[in-house]
């Protein structure tokens, strides 16, 4: 039996308190304690980038942190990136299939338009890295370099790079 | 009516459009539902007990020290409760036609031998750590060479050999000898295609949920062929198929790896049935690298006979596949496919292969994107470049000189396979033009070379009887059901099992055009054995469009015919004058029409239907293809190699290809990109390695190098579209093509850049250290 610990953190703007086994990975806290299953786990070895979240404004691998290390942290996950849009309303495109495309971040929209995802398993991690890069004011080339921290087995990366370029153009970040 | 040709025949509105995928939204928002996202009341968690040694006999399995587990099953309990798992492809002389889930022996590190179930994944893994297993260690058969050595230890003593199957393909020995004797020259070389892992980004996983109240078992698993999973669970656990429901939720990549139920997944099902409660098991990455099937590991000795004028005469292969500890579902199938497709686009006088599939103490091999056709392309296209080099001729010219010409098609190659149609020379010549448009090489001191690959790919595999004739125990057809609802909206039910290939969009494009409907009026239902028609393949073998799409066209056309018959009665017109366009059934050349929704309503209410027309709009069609389809492509790329480090960069890449009618170029291009990345990875980076004790030493993404963004160049793609003469709708299939072309293309480019070692490149991957060593020993 291992020890349990109370951990307080802010997830997607909401204060959360959890009571977990100290060895629980942050990725498991997000996915299985808080039900935020959009964060994916591809290796638990800190290499593939699928589990990337934004931690106090920096991209971080949630599989490499134990829950207690996140005490007091501000965590953002994929679920917070696109504004929530009511089902069937506005331009969610309910007819376009569940989830819709309303209120996506420009990079998410470019990923859709340019076919930057196939199975979609790696996608959340990539979106979190790119969103953090945009916020930090990274150039297009710095952001393309940051893709190096992500493994995608489906797309061959060509269209993901194109999506970064399109998003940076749209956002007026053409450095 | 803008969407009509002058003839009045509706112009395709959706087929051919670059339509972004309709299911992207939820994946981009993190709202996908993958197997590990599933939570059920009362669910327990499993961890798998795996062999830490490469070869041995389980002497004892002792769970007495385990605390807090709900259930532990060891090899003897599992063996007693399971039937054998059939191997579904029998080739030549084949000793292994089924395998046991747990026979008390271990034949590779990572082999599952037991399962522990507890309240959480963490505690289940604790339980596994507390189980004490005692092994009698056996001598290790490290690889195929060791397996074939005289006096080698036997993985299956009862077979008396490590050769699980042996077969021949193509021409007779006598004919081939005659052709070789008559040729001006003969060249020999070897190629070992290194062992790789398919590495879907989502590892495997399963939730097995028995319902004691109804006696049914529902399974969610990360798989690409739900009906095949159900077949296996039924067979191995002895449950009737109608009591099993298999669902593939969102699946994070499969590439062939997830085409069957693995032994560990069957153990989880057994544990769930024993406990009468849902059990989840999620594979981790280190497990994935040892317990999910590997690929390639083919050793091929090649002899080619040719004339001084560049005429290719004969090709002789002697191939050994190191298939690891046991056969997976399709046995030696990839090696058989390699020997069948190795002739490629050229007009040989003789092609003959002898082949052996050999057991060793390594992870079993299974299906992986390319399924032998990547190997066929590498072996042949490397050979062609070596011949060009020996003759001092241009390798593109040599290829063109020996190519099957368009007017020779349909053309039967030496291995009795008949290609359908196409224009191979034009395709290759276009690639040569695109290569001239690569930017000039910077003067940075690196060596550069252009590499080509031309392949013909068998896609749309079938028909069923042909499968049967070649020992493949699954049919080659697909079935689709199209159901038009009373409001005129449509559901398509398919046995194809999409997991990233975009059928949620492309199948709708096909159907919308056949029925003259807006695409928003159509939905695809897939990935659930309870609602979809049987499919032995699911999504695999580049056959979703040519076979699954073909079935969809037939089923949609049946609905269209019925809608037209009812509309004709409503409009008092002749059936042949009705066209379906823009949501209406219209009389051709007039402005008389009726909304399809009204026709559908009438059909389902059964009001005033024409004589002989049954109420309802529900049609099913099976499509058993006349023949396989044959897509093809020319790949060309430029490699830049740093001679001081052996490091390779693929700078530029172009593809010209024909996969028949293209439903959605955006999706096709995405498949090509992803396929190239996998072929490039196998050519340059990826390698599963073992030490002498049979211990795998590449179990993380730090040791096993998958391509990253920097590995992959941008790709110029040019489409040729010559519709298939067989498939309803004209599609030929192409999902594996990128991989098939890329491996040889990249290897050839590296060899072209480094002429001093080009003759001695005899294995993949061409890692920096391997190239550096070759360069150091260059004369
Ligand atoms: S799951 Fe965290 S880096 Fe792969
Ligand atoms: S889209 Fe499948 S791994 Fe990236």
To the nearest whole Å, the CA of A112 is away from the closest chain B CA by 6
CB < 8 Å to A144, chain B = 709
Cα–ligand 2 centroid distance for B725 (angstroms): 33
Of B23, B199, B224, B252, best ligand 2 pocket probe by most atoms within 8 Å of the beta carbon: B252
Where do the DSSP E strands lie in chain A?
A: 4-11, 14-21, 52-55, 58-61, 74-76
* A152 within some domain: yes
Question: pLDDT tens for residues A115-162?
Answer: 999 999 999 999 999 999 999 999 999 999 999 999 999 999 999 999
For the CA of B674, the nearest ligand: 2
Determine the Cα–Cα distance for residues B40 and A18; give it in Å rounded to an integer. 21
Nearest-Cα distance to chain A for B152, in Å, is: 37
Specify the CATH number for the domain of residue A47: 3.10.20.30
Residue A49, ligand 1, Cβ within 6 A: yes
User: Where in chain B are the domains?
Assistant: 24-32+477-623, 35-138+199-291, 367-459+628-776
Which residue segment(s) compose the domain that A148 sits in?
106-170
pTM: 0.97
Q: What per-residue confidence (pLDDT) applies to B11?
A: 79
- Establish whether residue A44 lines the binding site of ligand 1, counting it when its CB lies within 6 angstroms of any ligand atom: yes
Same domain, A28 and A64: yes
Nearest CA in chain B to A21: B122
Tell me how close the Cα of B558 comes to any Cα of chain A, in angstroms.
25
Alpha helices in chain A (DSSP H): 26-28, 106-113, 123-135, 140-146, 158-170
Structure tokens at B360: 């060793």
Q: Give the count of alpha carbons within 13 A of A59, CB side only.
A: 26
B507 lies within 8 A of chain A by CB: no
* Distances in whole angstroms, Cα of residue B335 to Cα of each of A24, A148, B259, B416: 44, 35, 17, 16
Those residues of chain B that have pLDDT short of 50 are 1-7
Q: What per-residue confidence (pLDDT) applies to A174? A: 63
B518-543 per-residue burial string, b: 16 or more CB within 10 A, e: under 16: ebebbbbebbbbeebbbbbbbbbbbb
**What pLDDT is recorded for position A89?**
38
What is the fold of B367-459+628-776?
A: Aldehyde Oxidoreductase; domain 4 (3.30.365)
* B252 Cα–ligand 2 center, Å: 7
Tell me the count of A-B CB pairs closer than 8 A: 198
pLDDT in tens, A49-102: 999 999 999 999 999 999 999 999 999 999 999 875 544 433 444 434 445 666
Residue B324 has a CB neighbour count (10 Å cut-off) of 26
Contact B750, B724 (CB under 8 A): no
Q: In sequence order, what are the residues at sequence separation of 6 or more whose Cβ sits closer than 8 angstroms to the Cβ of residue B628?
A: B417, B458, B459, B460, B461, B462, B466
**CATH number of the domain within which A148 lies:** 1.10.150.120
Taking a contact as any Cβ pair under 8 Å apart, which residues of chain B between 89 and 128 contact chain A?
122
- Report B:630-669 residues touching A (Cβ under 8 A): 666-667, 669
Check if B298 contacts A (Cβ < 8 Å). Answer: no
Quick check: is A136 in a domain? yes
Distance A116 CA to ligand 1 centre (A): 20
The ipTM assigned to this model is: 0.97
Least Cα distance to A6 among A82, A96, A68 occurs for A68
B288: nearest CA in chain A?
A43
- Whether chain A has a CB inside 8 Å of the CB on B31: the answer is yes
- In this structure, the residue with its CA closest to atom 3 of ligand 1 is A46
Tell whether the torsion through CA atoms of B110, B112, B114 and B116 is positive or negative: positive
Answer whether A148 sits within 8 Å of B738, measured CB to CB.
no
**Residue A94: its pLDDT value, please?**
40
B35-138+199-291 matches B24-32+477-623 in CATH topology:
yes
User: B561 forms bridges with which residues in the sheet?
Assistant: none
CB of A42 shorter than 6 A to ligand 1:
yes
**Ligand 2 binding pocket includes A154 (Cβ within 6 Å):** yes
A66 & A111 share domain = no
Could you tell me if A8 and A54 lie in one domain?
A: yes
CB contact under 8 A, A156 and B28: no
Q: For residue B201, which residues of chain A lie inside 8 Å, CB to CB?
A: 40, 42, 48, 50, 119, 121-122, 151-154
Distance B320 CA to ligand 2 centre (A): 33
Closest CA to B85 of B395, B327, B333: B327
How many separate domains does chain A show? 2
Answer yes or no: are the C-beta atoms of B457 and B751 closer than 8 Å. no
**What does the alpha-carbon distance between residue B592 and residue B360 come to, in Å, rounded to a whole number?**
71
Structure tokens at B124: 């289940």
Identify whether A18 is part of a domain: yes
CB contact under 8 Å between A42 and B203, yes or no, is yes
Contacts of B252 in chain A (CB under 8 A): 40, 42, 119-122
Given the candidates 1.25.10.10, 3.30.1370.60, 3.40.640.10, 3.30.365.10, the CATH classification of the domain at B35-138+199-291 is: 3.30.365.10
Q: Whose CA is nearest to atom 4 of ligand 2?
A: A152
CATH (residue range B24-32+477-623): 3.30.365.10
């Amino acid at each position: 039996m291992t020890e349990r610990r109370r951990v307080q953190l802010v997830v997607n703007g909401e204060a959360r308190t959890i009571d977990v086994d100290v060895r629980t990975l942050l990725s498991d806290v997000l996915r299985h304690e808080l039900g935020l299953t959009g964060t994916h786990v591809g290796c638990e070895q800190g290499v593939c980038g699928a589990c990337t979240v934004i931690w106090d404004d920096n991209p971080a691998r949630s599989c490499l942190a134990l829950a207690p290390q996140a005490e007091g942290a501000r965590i953002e996950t994929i679920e917070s990136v696109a504004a929530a849009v009511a089902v069937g309303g506005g331009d969610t495109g309910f007819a376009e299939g569940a989830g819709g495309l309303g209120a996506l971040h420009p990079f998410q929209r470019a990923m859709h338009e340019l076919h930057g995802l196939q199975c979609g398993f790696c996608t959340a991690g990539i979106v979190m890295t790119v969103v953090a890069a945009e916020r930090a004011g990274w150039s297009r080339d710095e952001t393309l370099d940051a893709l190096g921290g992500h493994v995608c087995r489906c797309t061959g990366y060509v269209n993901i790079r194109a999506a970064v370029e399109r998003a940076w153009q749209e956002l007026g970040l053409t450095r | 009516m803008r969407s009509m040709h002058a003839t009045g025949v509706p112009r395709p509105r959706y087929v051919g459009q670059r339509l972004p995928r309709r299911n992207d939204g939820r994946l981009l928002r993190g709202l996908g539902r993958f197997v590990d996202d599933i939570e059920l009341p009362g669910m327990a968690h499993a961890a798998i007990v795996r062999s830490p040694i490469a070869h041995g006999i389980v002497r004892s399995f002792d769970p007495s020290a385990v605390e807090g587990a709900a259930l532990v099953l060891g090899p003897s309990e599992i063996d007693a409760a399971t039937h054998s798992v059939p191997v579904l492809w029998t080739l030549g002389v084949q000793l292994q036609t089924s395998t046991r889930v747990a026979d008390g022996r271990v034949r590779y590190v990572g082999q599952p031998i037991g399962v522990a179930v507890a309240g959480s994944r963490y505690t289940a893994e604790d339980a596994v750590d507390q189980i004490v297993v005692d092994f009698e260690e056996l001598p290790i058969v490290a690889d195929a060479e060791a397996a074939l050595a005289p006096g080698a230890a036997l993985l299956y003593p009862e077979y008396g050999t490590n050769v699980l199957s042996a077969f021949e393909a193509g021409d007779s020995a006598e004919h081939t000898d005659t052709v070789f004797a008559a040729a001006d020259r003969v060249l020999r070389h070897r190629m070992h295609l290194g062992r790789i892992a398919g590495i879907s980004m989502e590892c495997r996983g399963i939730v097995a949920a028995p319902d004691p109240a109804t006696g049914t078992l529902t399974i969610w698993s990360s798989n690409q062929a739900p009906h095949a999973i159900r077949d296996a669970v039924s067979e191995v656990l002895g449950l009737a198929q109608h009591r099993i429901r298999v669902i593939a939720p969102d699946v994070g990549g499969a590439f062939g790896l997830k085409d069957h139920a693995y032994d560990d997944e069957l153990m989880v099902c057994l544990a769930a049935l024993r406990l009468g409660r849902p059990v989840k098991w999620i594979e981790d990455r280190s497990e994935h690298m040892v317990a999910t099937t590997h690929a390639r590991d083919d050793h091929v000795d090649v002899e080619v006979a040719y004339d001084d004028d560049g005429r290719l005469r004969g090709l002789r292969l002697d191939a050994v596949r190191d298939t690891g500890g046991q056969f997976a579902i399709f046995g030696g199938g990839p090696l058989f496919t390699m020997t069948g497709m190795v002739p490629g686009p050229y007009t040989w006088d003789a092609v003959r292969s002898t082949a052996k599939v050999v057991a060793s103490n390594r992870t079993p091999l299974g299906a992986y994107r390319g399924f032998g056709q990547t190997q066929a392309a590498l072996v042949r296209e490397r050979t062609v470049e070596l011949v060009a080099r020996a003759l001092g001729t241009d390798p593109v010219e040599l290829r063109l000189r020996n190519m099957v010409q368009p007017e020779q098609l349909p053309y039967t190659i030496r291995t009795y396979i008949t290609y359908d149609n196409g224009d191979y020379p034009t395709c290759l010549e276009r690639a040569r033009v695109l290569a001239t448009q690569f930017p000039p090489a910077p003067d940075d001191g690196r060596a550069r070379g252009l590499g080509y690959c031309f392949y013909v790919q068998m896609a749309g595999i079938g028909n069923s009887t042909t499968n049967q004739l070649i020992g493949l125990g699954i049919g080659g057809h697909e079935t689709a059901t199209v159901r038009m609802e009373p409001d005129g909206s449509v559901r398509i039910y398919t046995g194809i099992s999409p997991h990233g290939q975009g059928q949620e969009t492309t199948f709708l494009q096909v159907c919308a055009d056949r029925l003259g409907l807006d695409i928003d009026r159509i939905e695809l239902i897939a990935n659930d054995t309870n609602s979809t028609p049987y499919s032995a393949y699911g999504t695999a073998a580049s056959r979703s469009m040519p076979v699954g799409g073909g079935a969809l066209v037939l089923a949609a056309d049946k609905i269209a015919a019925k809608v037209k018959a009812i509309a004709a009665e409503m409009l008092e017109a002749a059936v042949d004058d009705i066209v379906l366009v823009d949501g209406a059934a219209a009389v051709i050349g007039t402005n008389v029409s009726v909304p399809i929704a009204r026709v559908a309503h009438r059909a389902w209410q059964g009001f005033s239907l024409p004589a002989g027309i049954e109420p309802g709009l529900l049609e099913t069609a099976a499509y058993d293809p006349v023949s396989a389809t044959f897509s093809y492509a020319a790949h060309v790329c430029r490699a830049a190699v740093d001679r001081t480090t052996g490091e390779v960069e693929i700078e530029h890449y172009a593809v010209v290809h024909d996969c028949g009618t293209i439903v959605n170029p955006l999706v096709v291009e995405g498949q090509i990109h992803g396929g190239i990345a996998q072929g490039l990875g196998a050519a340059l980076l990826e390698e599963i390695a073992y030490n002498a004790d049979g211990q795998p030493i590449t179990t993380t993404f730090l040791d096993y190098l998958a391509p990253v963004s920097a590995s992959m160049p941008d790709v110029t793609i040019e489409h040729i579209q010559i519709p298939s003469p067989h498939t309803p709708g004209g599609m030929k299939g192409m999902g594996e093509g990128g991989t098939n072309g890329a491996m040889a293309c990249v290897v050839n480019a590296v060899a072209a850049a480094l002429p001093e070692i080009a003759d001695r490149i005899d294995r993949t991957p061409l890692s920096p250290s391997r190239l550096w060593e070759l360069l150091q020993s260059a004369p």
